[in-house]
Every structure is written in structure tokens, then in C-alpha cells.
Structure 1
Amino acid sequence: MNQKKKVFLYSFITVFLWASAFPLTKIAQQHFTANALGLVRCSVAACFLLLIGKMNHIKRPRLKDIPVFFLAGLCGFTLYLICFNTGIQTLTSATSSIVIAITPILTAVLASAFYKEKINWIGWISILGAFAGVLVLLLWEGIFSVNIGIVWTLGAACVFCAYNFINKNLAKKGYNALEIVTYSMLCGAILFLFSLLPAVELLKTSAPAEIASLIYLGIFPSAIAYFLWGKAMSYAEKTSEVTNFMFVTPLLSTVLGFIILKEMPNMGTFLGGAIIICCIVVFNLKGKQ
């Protein structure tokens, strides 16, 4: 298999696994709280990543970098999963995935502010258009009615932006993608320990299907997806060859939400989602200098 085919295969499997996390999270939350779900998902993922890391002979983190890994775990996994799990309780899989899809745009805005990475006028119009799409999602049911789930999900997108910057900093320190995600996930699981007792009690009374969804969320969308994403990046000539696959996630999560949960997005999701996805595509193609 040549490199281009590997990039396509690894990237598509990754976004499919990420898309599957939206409906599977809703299944798990029929029994588990947002925090308990986050703890179990992070713990399963951390154990699986440590196993993969052992097989790939990853190096241990330097002592001085451990606080940075805890910060990465806090933003990328602990706070992210609390916000994500809370937000999706009142959203369809489609709406949640569309809001999360604006993360690259938010990251680019922060990069413009802190790293002086330039965004041209097309980019700024695309950014404004994307947030107009978010307003459509927020206010579709009525101008005085704001879906709090979207606010929580926007929070998830924001904290994941912070993780992207910390990730970049750790990469500059010489850590590879597998090392970064493994130790960040482990730190995220440790920070979730405040939910240990409630999680144990919920596990005792959970049904087999709910436990299966937890194990799936920890191994596939968390551990394996991040590992394959790093592999795709290593084979790609350009980062965009991989990141452009993220545009497919909302479509896949919408289809999976319909198949698994019989969710039917409302017209606001279709209209707002179309605006957001179009603006993200234009931003990535034409918005950066």
C-alpha cells in the first residue's frame, strides 16, 4: 500500500471513529453521568494507549514537563469531556458534531493572536459566517430560547483549542504524537478521579450494552483514533491532506445518529450546519496566508 492510500485509510478510519463517539456517548449517558463517563472513557483510553506505547517503545516524560502534560490532560480530555458530555445531553449527534467542527477555526484565530499567523479577509468573513451558523443553531427554536447544550459544546471546542496549543508546545520539546496523547490522556484520567466513587457505583448497576459502549468509547474513538491520526500525519506530505477529512465528521455522525438512535435533525441543524461547514471549507482553502 502506497503512502497516499495509507493517508486516506488512516484518516477516514479516524474520522469515522470520532463520528461514532457522538451517538455512542448518548447511549452511555442513559445510565452514566457526564463526569463518570469521562473518567471511565479516559481511563480505558489511557490503559490502551500505554499498551500501544509500550509496544512502540515510547520514552518517559521528563520530570519538568509533567505539569505541562497535566495541563494538556485538563484541557484536551478532562474539561473537554465534561463540556462535551454535558452538551450532547440536549443535542442530536449532528448538531454536536457541527459545533465541534469549528475547533480548527477557533484554533486559527488564537494562532493569529498569539503566534501572528495571518488570516486574510476571506478567512475573517468565513469566521464570521461560521459563527452566524452557530447563531442559527442557537436561536432556531425561538429568539428567546438558547439551547444550553450548544453553549457547553462551544466550551468543549474552546478548551480543545487550548489543548492544540499545548500539544504544539510539547511537540517542540521533542515528544512525538503518540507520547503526547498517551501521557495527556493518562493525566486527564488522573484529574477525573474526583468522580471515582460515583463512577464505581454506576458501573455496579450498568447493563452490558452500557458497559460495552464505555469500552468502545475508550478504545476506539479515543485511543485507536488518536493513534491512527498520528500515523496519517506521519505519512502525509501536507497537514491539510489529513485535516480536510474532519469535514466529513458531521455527515458521518448525522448518518450514524439516524441509524443507531433514529435521530432526525431539524431544519435549523441543516441550515446552520450547511453555513458552518461551507465556511470551514472556504476558510481552510482560501482563508490563510
Structure 2
Amino acid sequence: MYPYILMIFVVIFYAGNILIGKAINELPPFTIAFFRLLVAFIVLFPIGFRSAWESRDTFIKYKKPLLIMTLTGITFFNTFIYGALQFTTASNVSVLESAIPVVTVLLSAWLLKEKLNHIQWVGILLSFIGALWVVMEGKLLQLTAIDWNIGDAIMIGAIGTWAVYSIFVKQYMHLFPSYAVLLVMTGISIIVLLPIVLIEWGFQGIPPLGSLNLVFSLMYLGIFPSFIALIFYNKAVHLLSASKASIFLNFLPVVTIAGAYIWLGEKITVMQIIGSLIVICGVFLTTQVKGKRRKNKEMTIRMKA
């Protein structure tokens, strides 16, 4: 149950990422991404610097996969989301994020040769349909009637980057100390984003950053989705697989809508409850272990971890 509990918290933190990202979308997307990572870097520095310095040879040896993980999962994934939220609704973002597990599963089957049984494929399909059902309130045939726009096209970048990140996490993340690798990736991302942010300010002007609401929002984004959620997600992928861990992201629309109900006073419909139950059933089927041999293998991995 340990990796599944981790993924539940990941989903909660990422749902907050969407809600807060939408709430502060008066800030340009690169500005939000830059300052959230700056907060994460400040938090990570005292706990990750020593380990990062001691492991510098490892970072240099595996610099190519490290750079790919940095650019996909840290630098641009959330930047794409914040960019999309400038033009589209949180509901549309939730719909499109539901495609991430499917893309990750397909890439994992192709690149990592991860195998799922028939029941697990049924679970993937169910969780995907359930996620769409939640957002569309059961009106799946009206999916084509959504007012798609450039923000939805930007979300394609988020889908691709997170799927690639998940694949590389499974292959390489275990080679690095957990806090150290996040510190290094966050630092690289800040360096990459800084000139882009300055260009953004040159065109749009320096945004106001002094309000307490923005400060607390950026602190949340920097600590929970950027730091704690990534630690949890990387650990879950290591213990499970990229495919199984990513399936939990289909809970995002469910948790996002529940958060909107609690904090924004939005209503929850019966159709959304039905869709949530479908997602739960799909995730349950997908995360069932394939055979006794697989169970023994996972137990060995947990003991080593």
C-alpha cells in the first residue's frame, strides 16, 4: 500500500497545482514556473547540497538522462500547464491530463517492455473513461463540443513531457540521491527559465509580486507540487512502474473538482460521483499485481528500498 498512498498525495498536491495555477493566472506562465522553482530550490538547498556535491561524479556521468528528466518533468511540464491555463479552463486541462496515463502506458510498453495483463488494460480504459466522465458530467458524446483553443494545444506539450519524464524516472532516477537530484534539476531549470522570464517581462512588463495571496500561492507551488510531490512520485515509480504510477493521475479531475467544491463553492453532480467511482474501479484493476512471481519481485524491491 505504501506506493499507492504516496500517489494519492501526489494527486492531491497536483490538483492544488491546477487550482492555484488558475487562481493566479494574472501572472505570466514562465513567471509562475520560475518563482515556484526558486522557492523549491531555496527549500531543497540546505537538505540536498551536501549530497549533490558528494554525488557530482554520478551527475556528470549520467548528464544526458539527467538533462532530459530536468527539461521534461521540472522545467517545462508545469510551464505548459500554466501556459494552458492562460487560455483554457481548468476542466479542459483536467480532460487533457487524463491522457497522460494512457500515453505513459503506451510508451512504457514500447520502450521499457512493461507488460500488463488484460484486466489491467481494462482498468486503464475504465479509469480514462471515468476521468472524462467526471469532467463531462457523463456527457461523453459532447466531448467534441468543448470550446477547444490554443491552451488545449499547449497541453499536448504537458502530456508528452510528463510521459517522457516518467519513462526516464523508472530507468535512471534510482541512480541519484533523491533530494540531491531534485536540487540539481531545480537549479538547472531556474537557469534555463531565467532568460525566458526576462524576455517575458520585456514584452509584458514586470508583474506585481508583492501581494500576500501571490506569495503564499507561490510558496505552495514551490513546496508541495515542486518538491514533496516529485519525491513521492519518483519513489512510487521506482516501487511500481511508470505505467501503474501514472494511472493514479486519472484521479486528478476527481480531486480537482472536489477541491473546487470545498474551496470555491462549486457543485458536485451525481454524474461526477459516478465518474469518480469508475475511476476508482479502473485504478484498482490496473494496480492488481500480475501473478505470484511479480508479487515476490515487488517484495524484494521494497526490502531493498
Give the TM bin, normalised by the shorter chain. 0.7 to 0.9
Decide whether the 8 Å contact of 1:35 with 1:192 is kept in 2. yes
- Shift of the 44–248 alpha-carbon distance from structure 1 to 2, 3 Å rule, reads same
Decide whether the 8 Å contact of 2:124 with 2:282 is kept in 1. yes
- Shift of the 76–36 alpha-carbon distance from structure 1 to 2, 3 Å rule, reads same
| Equivalent residue, structure 1, for 2:161 | 159
Distance 2:141 2:268 in 1: 12
| Equivalent residue, structure 2, for 1:36 | 31
Decide whether the 8 Å contact of 1:167 with 1:180 is kept in 2. no
Decide whether the 8 Å contact of 2:95 with 2:132 is kept in 1. no
Match of 2:89 among 81, 88, 91: 91
TM-score (norm 1): 0.74
Over residues 51-107 of structure 1, what are the superposed CA-to-partner deviations in whole Å (9 max), with x where a residue is unaligned? 321366662253243343222121112221122113334223x66456435534432
- 1:222 pairs with 2:223: no
State the AA in 1 paired with 2:116.
Answer: I
SS in 2 for 1:285: coil
- 1:184 pairs with 2:188: no
State the AA in 2 paired with 1:37.
Answer: I
Tell which has more relative contact order, 1 or 2 (C-alpha 8 A, sep 6+): 1
Decide whether the 8 Å contact of 1:19 with 1:249 is kept in 2. yes
TM-score (norm 2): 0.70
Decide whether the 8 Å contact of 2:104 with 2:166 is kept in 1. yes
State the AA in 2 paired with 1:259.
Answer: I
Distance 1:110 1:140 in 2: 27
Residues matched between the structures, number: 278
Match of 2:70 among 50, 69, 73: 73
Q: CA deviation at 1:217?
A: 0.7
Decide whether the 8 Å contact of 1:19 with 1:97 is kept in 2. no
Identity of aligned residues (%): 23
Over residues 23-59 of structure 1, what are the superposed CA-to-partner deviations in whole Å (9 max), with x where a residue is unaligned? 1111221x20122211211222233223321366662
- 1:23 pairs with 2:25: no
Match of 1:254 among 251, 254, 257: 257
Distance 1:248 1:208 in 2: 30
| Equivalent residue, structure 2, for 1:103 | 100
Decide whether the 8 Å contact of 1:75 with 1:160 is kept in 2. yes
Q: CA deviation at 1:113?
A: 0.8
Q: CA deviation at 1:126?
A: 4.1
Decide whether the 8 Å contact of 1:95 with 1:265 is kept in 2. no
State the AA in 1 paired with 2:187.
Answer: L
Q: CA deviation at 1:133?
A: 5.6
Distance 2:253 2:144 in 1: 25
- Shift of the 66–254 alpha-carbon distance from structure 1 to 2, 3 Å rule, reads same
- Shift of the 266–12 alpha-carbon distance from structure 1 to 2, 3 Å rule, reads closer
Worse-superposed segment, 215-224 or 56-65: 56-65
Distance 1:51 1:276 in 2: 39
- 1:210 pairs with 2:214: yes
Over residues 165-185 of structure 1, what are the superposed CA-to-partner deviations in whole Å (9 max), with x where a residue is unaligned? 22233236x213333333222
- Shift of the 269–128 alpha-carbon distance from structure 1 to 2, 3 Å rule, reads same
Decide whether the 8 Å contact of 2:94 with 2:253 is kept in 1. yes
Worse-superposed segment, 135-144 or 183-192: 135-144
State the AA in 1 paired with 2:166.
Answer: N
Distance 2:278 2:7 in 1: 24
SS in 2 for 1:143: helix
Distance 2:281 2:6 in 1: 24
Distance 1:267 1:91 in 2: 21
Which runs of 5 or more residues in structure 1 are unaligned? none
Decide whether the 8 Å contact of 1:105 with 1:280 is kept in 2. no
Distance 1:156 1:254 in 2: 20
State the AA in 2 paired with 1:283.
Answer: T
